[in-house]
Structure 1
């Protein structure tokens, strides 16, 4: 999952980036509203953490522009302001949730997880496909109840597919959502990670749809069909 942080306070922005990367997210960072608006308009993110008090262009304006442009990614607003009018203004501009500074990073991550789950139609923090289970809270993956160790990139790829179960995901979409902006985006590495995941979780867990991309294979979906 790929997240954009738009925050001008250097210490907080670095802390958020480190924390989110440690939680398995690909993270891009913008330090003013102008750059934040550009990234949010030109790149594909699963969620955005947006400070309201930004230089160049304020956060409410950035958010309003995104929504008018048709950008639908979930946005979690950060604000040092504690008045209800600011919170209401943020929600009215298109925010999906908000946190008032100071806050605990654990709460921010929990709120992000919830926003991303809801955006992909998942109510539970535990995602399943047959015998495969992925706990978004702990980052643990199990196969028939037994823990399976994945690398960071393998986890990101599996997590994206499990959040979008039932959908064919193209290589381009996968690359856009599991790598940050500065990563060397080689599409061939996607096939390498898919092969590794299949070795660990079973050859049938991910189906290759030739010319289109990949889909998570869930036996329960076939049975229900």
Structure 2
């Protein structure tokens, strides 16, 4: 069983992560401050670390300097590109911005804990349409498709649930963290724009409208 250390002073986030990770079959260690994290890591060697930056005591940046040979995913509200580049250059293997999609975080954890053959891929597929959760790239028939942030969030949600009809209200609720300005009216426009971009590279149809309910990714 793989062990993941959660280093975060936010009790709610830490408890949520621990509950979900244990449900996924991981063991968990906890630290609530930078100082506690350094002590924890001196006594234990987890397989992966989820590290917040804004910690009491030592900061996450300072804690990172004490970590060698263990993959670290920074999970932080700091969203500036400079912060991400700096932490990645200093040893972190990945950077996830709060608030985050738990399914995306689980996919990133799974990828970084390979090479187990049972670890799921980070690539979502519907027919020849592919979406890479890690690189945020989308392609159909091998041809890259450029999507806006909102279009990407909508398509990712549909592809995470292939063949399942998702109501408009559910889509709006589940992408609200990434796209708070999206409305039911603009959702239809975003779906239309996604379809246009897909049709530019493929004759196949990937998204179906279910009248009066919502939309679904056509699986097969």
TM-score by length of 1: 0.52
Using a 3 Å threshold, how does the CA distance of structure 1 residues 215 and 149 change in structure 2: closer, same or farther?
same
* TM superposition shift of 1:86: 10
* TM superposition shift of 1:98: 4.3
| CA deviation profile, 1:3-24 (whole Å, cap 9, x unmatched) | xxxxxxxxxxxxxxxxxxxxxx
The answer for unaligned runs of 5 or more in structure 2 is 1-5, 52-62, 65-71, 73-86, 97-101, 111-118
Q: In the aligned structure 1, how far is the partner of 2:168 from the partner of 2:207?
A: 13
* TM superposition shift of 1:108: 4.2
**What is the aligned counterpart of 1:99 among 42, 50, 58?**
50
Comparing both chains, which one has the higher relative contact order based on Cα–Cα distances under 8 Å and sequence gaps of 6 or more? 1
More helix by share: 1
Aligned residue for 2:183, secondary structure, equals coil
Q: In the aligned structure 2, how far is the partner of 1:129 from the partner of 1:182?
A: 23
* TM superposition shift of 1:137: 2.1
Q: After the TM superposition, which residues 1-225 of structure 1 pair with which residues of structure 2 at under 5 Å, given as runs?
A: 52-54=8-10, 58-59=11-12, 63=15, 79=32, 80=34, 81-82=37-38, 83=40, 98-100=49-51, 101-102=63-64, 103=72, 104=87, 107-109=93-95, 113-116=104-107, 123-180=120-177, 183-202=180-199, 204-219=205-220
Q: In the aligned structure 2, how far is the partner of 1:213 from the partner of 1:199?
A: 18
Q: Which has the larger radius of gyration?
A: 2
* TM superposition shift of 1:193: 0.8
Structure 2 contact 129–138 (Cα < 8 Å) conserved? yes
- Structure 1: which 4+ aligned runs deviate by more than 4 Å? 75-79, 84-87, 103-106, 116-119
Structure 2 contact 150–179 (Cα < 8 Å) conserved? no
* TM superposition shift of 1:165: 1.5
Alignment RMSD: 4.4
